[in-house]
Structure 1
Amino acid sequence: MGVRKVVSSWKNNVFFGGASIVALLATSSGAYAQTGPADDTRTIIVTATKRASTVQDVPFSINAQTEADIQRSGAVTIEDLSRNVAGLTVQNLGPGQSQVAVRGVSAGQIIRDQPGVKEQVGVYLDESVISLSLFTPDLDLFDLSRVETLRGPQGTLFGSGSVGGTIRYITNQPDLDTVEGLVEGNVNLVDGDDFGGHLKGAINVPLVEGVAAVRVVGYHTEYGGFINALREDGDIDEDVNDGRRTGGRIALTVQPTPDISITPRVVYQEIRSNGFNRQEVYNLYANRFTDPTVPGGREPVVFDERQQFLLLNEDFADDTLILDNVLEWNFGAAALTSVTSYIDRDILVSRDASALTGSVSVDLGFPTAGVMLPSNLVDTTDLQTFTQEIRLASQTTGPFQWLIGGFYSDVERLYSQRLPTPGYDAFTDAVLGAGTSAAVANGFGPDSPYNADLPYDIKQKALFGEASYDLTDRLTATAGLRYYDFKEERRFTSGGLFANGDDQIDETKSDGFSPRLLLSYEASDNVTFNAQASKGFRLGGVNDPLNETLCSADDEATYGGFDRYDDETLWNYEAGVKSQFAGITFNAAAFYTDIKNLQVTADAGSCSSRVVFNADAHTMGVEVELSARPAEGLDLSVAGSLIEAEFDETQLKANGDILEGIREGNRLPSVPNFQVAASAYYTVPVSSTMDAFAGITFQHVGSRFTQPGDQENNPRTFVHGLPFGGAPATAATTLDLKLPDYQLVNISAGVEMANGLEIVAYINNLFDENTLLSFDRERGGRARLGFSTNQPRTFGLTVRKGF
């Protein structure tokens, strides 16, 4: 196939196939040549309804970004993808830590020590559910067939955790008949002073043609850092947040008969980061109030962009093992699918908590040496998940189609916290009385003022079904229902000076139904109208006890009464249109979501605790996605969403103040009102064997709030109240907690050869925008204030060769 025909074929796939946002250009890669006849690549097949269908035929709002789209956009994380998908937002909380929201259904920032809070968006790797609240798996996007974003609650087919929507990573499966592969290398320069890059490869080999094949994928990425850390001795360590990601997967497909297919798979990935993308504004040890002439003081510090203060190095690690097996058996009128999966994840978040511990030590009257002790907060998560799904689906071609199934999962999650602070017990006993540290240890080790173990055991059983019927040649009705039954058991044990010495066992149970009704009307061969009403569900839970020894009287009175939080439910109502004509694809949807008992997350101020409580809310808005080819070689696309996400009630504290921003009409957190992405891409043949291309992408993300309470009394003045290092007790920092909107521009250019070789040069974040992604606070601002920020301007070169 000639190179011009290859590029044309790829464009037909992208721009006429119905993928919502298409060919978002321009970062670390260009188009990967897709072979095959043009007519065979005009339609993108998805499995959002657990049966094969085209994007345009799915009777609800869905986005599907193909492998070519992902390569073209240069996306390497789900956050990169989110900026290009209407209605999808991701709140960046540091490496491997993010919260995903769809259509504005968001309850606020979940913090690392809230393991009981469940996710609002379900995440799947093919058929296997891999969701985990806060720690959304940061999977490498190499060798994916597509990423599907299903908007609105997907409780019928995908269960709890899909209350706002579902994201599905669909990998390329072993091909029984073809030897093929892809090799990709990259080098990049971050912020002008730190190099990164990656090497990735995939190969597919038939073992017995038509009967068995294996597909092997491997990758290694080095991330350049861009955060600089001030140290106690006045030195500056540069690029402390660099890291790496290494992993791969092996899938084997065996098809002993044309009707039976078995695909076992192993997926393994390691992530390591040497720090966090936090730029600080205030730190107990480094701030503009300190005086070098007093104990613990230093020259006043005004932090630059992408700068923080550390006494200790920080680390993040995530080791993920996924074992799954998919059995498919087609026996004529119906097909049976069995999905068995096991996940083992070990996650470490190691943070410099010296400022947090030191702020408590100031309150306790410790001497300067005790306040300055390095203190390391170590959070660990040990997760084992087993799931089994079996479903039976019709295979006939008549007007009536059906699917029934059952689901079981057993999740064991052990979350632990330790605060090793060498030498702390001696200061504790000297200030508070001999034997105090041993008396409050509650069986935990020495020199750790806070310790907690939280083992969770969550079991779920569900039955589900969905059926559709063609009422006329153009009108189809679909109805679905899921019955769910959850049981969660949790034990909370704590010890140390900052803890209460708790040891309690709690249980949460819930069962119910999640229905869905859809109508799809094919007005013409090119235009379809859809309507839907569907219910979503998220399991409630139990709040951890407040750290009462750290709480001010006001904070203890305000947050001490929230022992439990109820199940979150919502009803989603939507109507949409999907159309294709004259080289244009236009998809749009309008929606309204009524949320009952939204599980709102709040920072309990000086307690260094978080609580969850319930509030009613709604979201409403529109999503629009458009792609067109106005001239030969020129491809344009735009996708955007306009969302109103607000509370429907007001809740008050005992003193009459608004409780954590829960005021009727206040915005739900982390979600912009307006988000849009646009791209332009131009291809021109320069010879019979080579094409040249260039592209530009523009992304706008509107203003947001990290937590709902951030919009009250904003700009906010944080009175630090800690007379340490020369700072007066009245020292205060005023910040605007409304995260400003930001714009990112990426450009790329390269060449594509007929032999499958591709070379792309790119610049990400062309104008070096320093975006504020989330607000970071420790102990209500008494210890530390800062923001998570994005990667600065990056220059890169990618070389890719397919065969």
Structure 2
Amino acid sequence: MAGKKDRLLFCATSLAALFAPAGAMAQEAADPPSQADIVVTAQRRAQNVVDVPLTVNVLSGSELTKRNITSLQDIADNVPGLDVFSQGGGKQLIQIRGINSLRGTSSLVGIYLDETPLTGSQDGFYPVYADAGALDLARVEVLKGPQGTLFGEGAMSGVIRYVTNDPKLDRIGGTVDYSLFATDGGRASAQVKAALNLPLSDTLAVRFAGEYQNNGGWLDNAGTGARNVNSNQIYDGRVKLLWQPDSRLRVVGMVDIRHNDEDSPSYANILPYEKGLYRHAIDPHGRTSGVSELDLYSLRVEYDLGFAELMSNTAHSRRYSNSNLDQIYYATNDPAAPIVLEIANTRYLNKQSITSQELRLTSKGDGPFKWVLGGIYKDDDLLRHFLDGAELLYPPSTTVTILQEPIRTTSKSWAVYGDASYSPFRRLEIGGGLRYSHDDRSFTDGTLPTASGTFSRVTYRAFVKYDVARDANLYFNVGNGFRSGGFNAVVNPAFPPPLTYAPERSMAYEAGFKASLLDGKLGVNIAAFQQYYRGQVYDRVVLTPVFLQYTANGGNTRIRGVEWQLTASPVRALRLSASGTVMGSVFVASTPEAEVDFPPGTSPLALPKYSIQLGANYAFRWAASVPGYLDIDFNHKDELVGGQGVTRIVTGPQSFLGASLGATVEGLDIAIFARNLLNEHSPYYPTLGGIGAVPRPRQIGIRLGKSF
């Protein structure tokens, strides 16, 4: 049963929805937009997605609402080649086409909220990507492959862009959305979202958006007998102010505050996996609660110069997380084998601030020559700290307490970039770009001397696109990316690890075909890709003469694959979709140390060999004035193999099935939905530790929504 707070929230939200100003009488469900109608800004200019010469997956705001998508984990279930392994509270590992940031001190996937970068330096030990949520979004864009030219360092495997709704000057409007759902074997959950657009004058408008989630837990603590320990509450509020004194100038200011309070992370035992039971390593009564916060302030100015548009984006973000870490390591994947290493429950702090300033000039017009010029400066400061120290057992009969000093990583980086394309005749377009990135990075480990270094690189891309017909084209692109190097903590000066590790690089080739055919009734997006991941960093563990754990460059990996996305509307009311990937990776070169950890023929990347997503949406009428819809989606991923050396851990395969059945009654949207109908519960990601993130079990609920 939902708590008293949930019931009060349900009543208040339902009343607000019922008495909100009603819109026009509901009409027949509109046709979903074809690829030729979907506009994205993946190349820093507005384009139809079918015209962009690279793989871009898009989820519209209406799709996010209809499928009850509230997190990046949910988004990944609908995007081929994107994998997210979330433990809650901002602790999530993001992977695009097999490349993720499990190790290294900066991101490999760029995350943007509008024009503001949310990624930069990160903990090389504990992934803590910012959780941006899915509040009041116009769309989400997922850009595959290296985006080193337009998005720079830290976007080596791709970019995820959250595009929020801007205020509008011409009307009052808004939405209210409430959902209540039960979780198999867990507590009930309630979520509410609302947005309100208010014109204040002919030149000034404001948009408010807010969200509250009370997500009931479903995991049990086997050490204490406590049930449903991983509940969490999310509070998210956003205010956007638009000032547009004339047709040439637009100024948009935004404040976004998102907080996540959790009772316990959403992970469970992997070795052995016990149906969601979680066991503490040493102290069964240790703390499990945590908090994750993201505060963002930005000011975007756009000015029309006639021949080009000038954009300035000034932003500051603060990310804070304070969570509890508990791990169990095993010598092999045999659960009967003795534990080699345990790390006791400790409070783990991450505190980061990023200030950025970007200027960009984008050409206007439909002429044959198009270009983009820009530059960005970013000041990034990250502090991480084991507040209570750590307790290690090696061998199992020995206990040693380690108190760790705060570790600070700073990065002051800047970059200049340019991108251009030219069409010598109507069907052919050729283009490319260059970017120079410069990163001054420092690393301070407690009272030890500060290590510092400069990492710089020129990245590029080139492409050719040929229109074989209207809204149908073939393209080929090549591009590279990089991630800055970093530094290792010197825990034991008598046996120090290598002080630094080198930057990682990637080179990718992609050939594809995009088309919107039969007046938009058929959409095709197929791409074949090959990517070389050079100097990949990974976690080295040396047991003798002392225990030593550090980050090192392992070698080079080749990734090959095919990705597709097909949509079809055989009749006006029915839309079918199918997408997926087939991928493989292998070490093509490595260091002698890496060959010990990853024997020949293996790969350090844990990526599914294949994945497939199927969807169907059918619009119909319950009655003459009551339109309805049925939405079904299915997602299957092959097993993941991880670990290193003699320890190889396998998770999956995984299958997820969801459905939603809805109706619109006098302007009120009512839907019954279900997620994870197959009750998949195996861990998302293989890890050497004895714990891993697991999905929420089967959920069945109801959603009420009102637009006005």
TM-score normalized with structure 2 length:
0.88
- 1:280 to partner: Cα distance: 2.2
> Greater share of strand residues, 1 or 2?
2
Question: Deviation per CA, 1:686-713, whole angstroms, max 9, x where unpaired?
Answer: 2222122223211101111344x1xx43
Distance 1:463 1:92, change over 3 A: same
1:415 aligned residue: 384
1:22 aligned residue: none
- 1:303 to partner: Cα distance: 4.6
Residues 566, 614 of structure 1: 8 Å contact kept: no
**Which of residues 257, 261, 270 is equivalent to 1:268?**
257
Q: Which amino acid aligns with 1:747?
A: A
Distance 1:182 1:140, change over 3 A: same
Residues 629, 662 of structure 2: 8 Å contact kept: yes
**Which of residues 666, 669, 682 is equivalent to 1:771?**
682
Does residue 168 of structure 1 match 2:161?
A: yes
**Which of residues 67, 74, 82 is equivalent to 2:68?**
74
Q: Which amino acid aligns with 1:67?
A: G
1:520-559 aligned within 5 A: 520-546=465-491
Residues 533, 556 of structure 2: 8 Å contact kept: yes
1:352-431 aligned within 5 A: 352=326, 376-419=345-388
Distance 1:243 1:744, change over 3 A: same
**Which of residues 392, 403, 409 is equivalent to 1:456?**
409
Q: Which amino acid aligns with 1:659?
A: V
1:87-166 aligned within 5 A: 87-106=81-100, 109-110=102-103, 117-132=105-120, 133=122, 134-166=127-159
**Which of residues 671, 675, 695 is equivalent to 1:760?**
671
Task: Give ranges in structure 1 of 5+ residues lacking alignment.
Answer: 19-42, 111-115, 284-301, 357-370, 425-430, 438-447, 494-501, 550-555, 717-735, 779-784
**1:470 and 1:127 mapped to 2: Cα distance?**
28
- 1:414 to partner: Cα distance: 1.4
Question: Deviation per CA, 1:602-659, whole angstroms, max 9, x where unpaired?
Answer: 4556947442323111111111000111234222111101111222124444xxx943
1:291-370 aligned within 5 A: 303-309=274-280, 310-352=284-326
Q: Which amino acid aligns with 1:414?
A: L
Question: Deviation per CA, 1:345-387, whole angstroms, max 9, x where unpaired?
Answer: 211122357x79xxxxxxxxxxxxxx99x96412111211110
* Bigger CA radius of gyration: 1
1:178 aligned residue: 171
**1:228 and 1:376 mapped to 2: Cα distance?**
17
- 1:418 to partner: Cα distance: 2.3
**2:585 and 2:100 mapped to 1: Cα distance?**
9
Distance 1:377 1:529, change over 3 A: same
Q: Secondary structure at the match of 1:80?
A: helix
1:44 aligned residue: 38
Q: Which amino acid aligns with 2:288?
A: E
Distance 1:639 1:247, change over 3 A: same
Residues 242, 274 of structure 1: 8 Å contact kept: yes
Question: Deviation per CA, 1:29-87, whole angstroms, max 9, x where unpaired?
Answer: xxxxxxxxxxxxxx111111111111111121111110112123322211211122122
Query: Which deviates more from structure 2 when the two are superposed, residues 540-549 or residues 166-175?
Result: 540-549
CA RMSD of aligned residues (A): 2.7
Query: Which deviates more from structure 2 when the two are superposed, residues 575-584 or residues 607-616?
Result: 607-616
**Which of residues 782, 790, 793 is equivalent to 2:695?**
790
Q: Which amino acid aligns with 1:208?
A: S
Residues 26, 667 of structure 2: 8 Å contact kept: no
1:600 aligned residue: 538
Distance 1:705 1:603, change over 3 A: farther
1:686 aligned residue: 622
Distance 1:185 1:547, change over 3 A: farther
Does residue 223 of structure 1 match 2:215?
A: yes
Query: Which deviates more from structure 2 when the two are superposed, residues 576-585 or residues 600-609?
Result: 600-609
Higher RCO, 1 vs 2 (CA within 8 Å, ≥6 residues apart)? 1
Distance 1:96 1:547, change over 3 A: farther
**1:189 and 1:222 mapped to 2: Cα distance?**
12
- 1:506 to partner: Cα distance: 0.6
Does residue 737 of structure 1 match 2:649?
A: yes
**Which of residues 28, 44, 54 is equivalent to 2:48?**
54
- 1:792 to partner: Cα distance: 0.7
2:581 aligned residue: 641
Distance 1:393 1:450, change over 3 A: same
- 1:396 to partner: Cα distance: 3.2
Q: Secondary structure at the match of 1:346?
A: strand
Q: Which amino acid aligns with 2:696?
A: Q
1:287 aligned residue: none
Residues 556, 590 of structure 2: 8 Å contact kept: no
Residues 775, 786 of structure 1: 8 Å contact kept: no
**Which of residues 29, 33, 37 is equivalent to 1:7?**
29
Residues 85, 693 of structure 2: 8 Å contact kept: no
Question: Deviation per CA, 1:174-231, whole angstroms, max 9, x where unpaired?
Answer: 111111100011111112440111111000011113x111000011101110110133
1:213 aligned residue: 205
Question: Deviation per CA, 1:753-792, whole angstroms, max 9, x where unpaired?
Answer: 3x431111112111212121124555xxxxxx23321111
Q: Which amino acid aligns with 1:622?
A: V
Distance 1:375 1:517, change over 3 A: closer
**Which of residues 659, 665, 672 is equivalent to 2:596?**
659
**Which of residues 467, 489, 504 is equivalent to 1:568?**
504
2:35 aligned residue: 17
> Greater share of helix residues, 1 or 2?
1
**1:741 and 1:598 mapped to 2: Cα distance?**
26
Q: Which amino acid aligns with 1:343?
A: S
Q: Secondary structure at the match of 1:56?
A: helix
**Which of residues 466, 486, 500 is equivalent to 2:439?**
486
Distance 1:488 1:70, change over 3 A: same
**2:344 and 2:614 mapped to 1: Cα distance?**
46
1:585 aligned residue: 523
The count of corresponding residues between Structure 1 and Structure 2 is: 660
Task: Give ranges in structure 2 of 5+ residues lacking alignment.
Answer: 1-22, 330-340, 392-396
Residues 622, 663 of structure 2: 8 Å contact kept: no
**1:644 and 1:347 mapped to 2: Cα distance?**
35
Residues 278, 308 of structure 1: 8 Å contact kept: no
Residues 65, 148 of structure 1: 8 Å contact kept: yes
- 1:2 to partner: Cα distance: 7.4
Q: Which amino acid aligns with 1:669?
A: L
Q: Which amino acid aligns with 1:601?
A: D
2:337 aligned residue: none
Residues 207, 213 of structure 1: 8 Å contact kept: yes
Distance 1:664 1:106, change over 3 A: farther
1:257 aligned residue: 246
Residues 26, 627 of structure 2: 8 Å contact kept: yes
2:658 aligned residue: 746
- 1:313 to partner: Cα distance: 2.6
**1:490 and 1:60 mapped to 2: Cα distance?**
36
Does residue 475 of structure 1 match 2:428?
A: yes
- 1:548 to partner: Cα distance: 8.2
**2:488 and 2:428 mapped to 1: Cα distance?**
47
